[in-house]
Amino acid sequence: MYRMRNLLVRVDRLLGHSAFSPNPSLPCLCTLCSDWWRDRGLQSEPLAILTGPSGMSVGTTPRYNVVSSWEEDIQRHGNMPALGNGFGNGKIQTRRKPRVRFVNKTGQCNVNFSHMEEQSQRYLADIFTTCVDIRWRWMFFLFSLAFILSWLAFGFIFWLIALVHGDFDRTSSEDFTPCIMQVNSFVAAFLFSVETQTTIGYGFRCVTEECPLAVLMVVVQSILGCIIDAFMIGAIMAKMARPKKRAQTLLFSHNAVIALRDGKLCLMWRVGNLRKSHIVEAHVRAQLIKPRVTEEGEYIPIDQIDINVGYDQGTDRIFLVSPLTIIHEINEESPLFGISKQDLASEDFEIVVILEGMVEATAMTAQVRSSYLSSEILWGHRFEPVVFEEKNHYKVDFTHFHKTYEVPSTPRCSAKDIEDSKSLHSAANFCYENELAFCQEDEEEDGIRGILGTEMETLSASLNSDQRSHHKESEI
């Protein structure tokens, strides 16, 4: 037992963890760590402890805390403390300005492009996509401008043809046949152009056989008018039928939460569908975005790290009829593995969540995006239930969609600290069980030796008695 306690003390001093013996009679080592921390001039708070030989229970008090800001730490200690927040990760709580979002809550990417070579030419080369992407007011302005310019251009051509043919000079001659009937001015030529392209056909103005060029211009204008109409109708329909508008009826929760789910620390957020029409083949994915410096010293301002939401098990594909909670298990492969509740306030990252699927009505792929900053992740919270079973159906109450409630039993340490504590606890149990096994073996060996000794004594006594009886018989 004495060796067991010394082993735990050494491990506790090396790793900075609070070790506890599976035997309740052994003293707690939290006092040793607290005294060591206090001797170095740092503030200390009670440690979230592990108790019992068969499992782990998490305390409601945090581990050691550090000063709140960099300036206060410099003034108080004169230098940076060797250890950070008491979790063994060496991080310091500092005040920083809020992170600029990469993806807004509405799903729009907060990115502006500048100094693009031949931007206008590239956008005009893909004019249809440009017309679909621009705002409605600019689309109507462009199509109105296209119609007006085409009317003016062909009106000017018809006026020029009539002028060259002399229609304006011999209007009173009965034997003269003009190129275009009843076109005596530019306004009349413009009205004829509008009637031709829109196929109004009032019957008052018309083209004659005198000018083949005028007949050709009527044909060209009719074809051009059909092309403009088709392009305009197609762009408007594509803009109206875009699955982007379907995203307005898909919701993400305002906050993400971190809590225990089936004994494991998990990051969770909620997604819901406001329509009864389904999203076919709906699946979710997430990425963590944060700046990073490589081993070579290269600074990457936006480093994208995938967050596993169940690709291997297929839980990333969802049946989105009622609101669902998306779960990311924080394990060794998670980028959040070493982050505790205290670290979360000072971390500089953004989690972008994406929902993709096909709209049932149009079979077009829709994508919905949102993001959560580290300040929007609630540690130790769970979402309130929104689905309630009634007499013959299920009721979804969206008033509770964004609401959460606190779970005090949630560990405040990181998932890495929990795993280390479990491994240390299992090692302590293993040593304790080994000692018990060795003691039991020693007792069994002692018992066997005692039994063998007793049997040998009995055997020797019986042999002596036989020899004495044989000796007496021989004497007789």
Structure token digits, residue 22: 């599976």
Q: What pLDDT shows up at residue 221?
A: 94
Q: ∠ CA 218-147-210 to the nearest 5 degrees?
A: 15
Residues 6+ apart with CB under 8 A from 28: 18, 20, 49
443 band by pLDDT with thresholds 50, 70 and 90: low
pLDDT higher for 121 or 31? 121
- Kindly tell me if the per-residue pLDDT of 38 is higher than 60: no
Q: What pLDDT shows up at residue 452?
A: 53
Sequence-ordered strand ranges (E) for 340-425:
350-359, 365-373, 377-379, 381-383, 387-389, 394-396, 404-406
Instruction: Dump pLDDT digits (tens) for 87-131.
Output: 444 444 445 566 788 999 988 898 988 888 888 888 888 888 888
Cβ density class 440-458: b for 16+ within 10 Å, e for less: eeeeeeeeeeeeeeeeeee
Q: At what angle do helices 136-165 and 186-197 cross, to 10 degrees?
A: 120
335, 347 contact by CB (below 8 A): no
Cβ density class 316-336: b for 16+ within 10 Å, e for less: bebebeebbebebbbeeebbb
Cα–Cα nearest to 286, from 103, 415, 410: 103
Average pLDDT of 53-57? 40
Structure token digits, residue 30: 């939290």
Topology of the domain covering 119-240? Helix Hairpins (1.10.287)
- Kindly tell me if the per-residue pLDDT of 37 is higher than 80: no
Residues 6+ apart with CB under 8 A from 238: 128, 132
Topology of the domain covering 254-412? Immunoglobulin-like (2.60.40)
Distance CA 52, CA 60 (A): 16
Q: What are the residues facing 180 on neighbouring strands?
A: 207
- Cα 6 to chain centroid, rounded: 45
Amino acid (1-letter code) at residue 302: I
Phi, psi of 40 (to 5 degrees): -95, 10
Distance CA 266, CA 351 (A): 14
271, 292 contact by CB (below 8 A): no
Average pLDDT of 345-368? 90
Sign of the C-alpha dihedral computed for residues 116, 120, 122 and 128 taken in this order? positive
Sequence spans of domains, the chain? 1-95+415-476, 119-240, 254-412
73 band by pLDDT with thresholds 50, 70 and 90: very low
Q: What pLDDT shows up at residue 61?
A: 38
Choice among 187-201, 313-327, 417-431, 449-463 with the minimum mean pLDDT: 449-463
331, 337 contact by CB (below 8 A): yes
Instruction: Write the DSSP assignment of 128-149 as a string of letters.
Output: HHHHHHS-HHHHHHHHHHHHHH
Q: What pLDDT shows up at residue 458?
A: 60
- Kindly tell me if the per-residue pLDDT of 227 is higher than 50: yes
Q: What pLDDT shows up at residue 168?
A: 82
436 band by pLDDT with thresholds 50, 70 and 90: low
Sign of the C-alpha dihedral computed for residues 441, 445, 450 and 454 taken in this order? positive
pTM more than 0.75: no
Average pLDDT of 49-67? 38
Residues 6+ apart with CB under 8 A from 167: 178, 179, 180, 183, 184
Residues 6+ apart with CB under 8 A from 79: none
Q: What pLDDT shows up at residue 385?
A: 94
Q: What pLDDT shows up at residue 272?
A: 94
Average pLDDT of 156-168? 89
Q: Are strands 256-261 and 377-379 parallel, antiparallel or unpaired?
A: parallel
Task: Give the distance between the most distant pair of CA atoms in the chain.
Answer: 184
% of residues, the chain, pLDDT over 90 = 38
